[in-house]
Amino acid sequence: DGGITQSPKYLFRKEGQNVTLSCEQNLNHDAMYWYRQDPGQGLRLIYYSQIVNDFQKGDIAEGYSVSREKKESFPLTVTSAQKNPTAFYLCASTGTERSETQYFGPGTRLLVL
Amino acid sequence: AQSVAQPEDQVNVAEGNPLTVKCTYSVSGNPYLFWYVQYPNRGLQFLLKYITGDNLVKGSYGFEAEFNKSQTSFHLKKPSALVSDSALYFCAVRDPWGGTGGFKTIFGAGTRLFVKA
């Protein structure tokens, strides 16, 4: 899983609660991404950040928020506005060149109580 | 719009037989193509990529892929499948974001490979 760590591995959310998923990388990558994966499905982009203090919405940003205060960190908050948060969340990072691969963290599985 | 398509949701193959996982692309200009693999409850891992040069690209775990410009395809292959190859495989293309600069990765829907002993 490269030099990217995600925590926790499993997360339980109660209704109305905001929860934050951690993502840290030591690859010195500028770009970082959050994806959502539903069972047996592909990846959907939630948010991405190409540089510190800047981030953009992806395809399914509603109900989520992010911050990018440090190059190595890109936490994702799943807010109470996200009505169907149960999914597998993947963080990734990559360098700035088009030829560079994406490195993925091990994922966080979010479950609703 | 730039895209990749994986026409098969699932591929079944017997151990020891050759395997092929299909991918076609639609991009303007020269494509930057990738294959990733995902094992259960894990993140994606890079297998191989085509940027330029030889159309046959060799990657990790004995996998290879053939870039075919006329057919706009980038099929993943392995001469002899192992049970441990059973996983979810994603084809991807890397393309410019456009106005914001930088590059995005567009993933296919994924193909689940089952290798039977």
Tell me how far apart the alpha carbons of residues B75 and B91 are, in angstroms, rounded to a whole number: 9
Interface test with A, best of B103, B107, B111 (most A CBs within 10 A): B103
Contact (Cβ atoms closer than 8 angstroms) between residue B77 and residue B19: yes
B56-74 mean pLDDT: 96
Structure tokens at B76: 């993943």
The answer to whether the Cβ–Cβ distance between B41 and A4 falls below 8 Å is no
The answer to whether the Cβ–Cβ distance between A94 and B110 falls below 8 Å is no
Q: What confidence tens digit (pLDDT) does each residue in B68-79 have? A: 999 999 999 999
How close is the nearest chain B Cα to the Cα of A110, in Å?
Answer: 12
| pLDDT surpasses 90 at B2 | no
Q: Which residue of A has its CA nearest to B44?
A: A104
Buried b (16+ CB within 10 A) or exposed e, B100-114: eebbbbbbbbbbbbe
End-to-end alpha-carbon separation of chain B, Å? 41
Q: What confidence tens digit (pLDDT) does each residue in B15-38 have? A: 999 999 999 999 888 899 999 999
Chain B contacts of A98, Cβ < 8 Å?
A: 32, 94-96, 103
Tell me how far apart the alpha carbons of residues B52 and A87 are, in angstroms, rounded to a whole number: 36
Helix (H) or strand (E) holding B111: strand B111-116
Looking at the partner chain, which of B43, B94, B95 has a beta carbon nearest the beta carbon of A104?
B43
Q: What confidence tens digit (pLDDT) does each residue in A18-52 have? A: 999 999 999 999 999 999 999 878 899 999 999 99
A60-89 mean pLDDT: 95
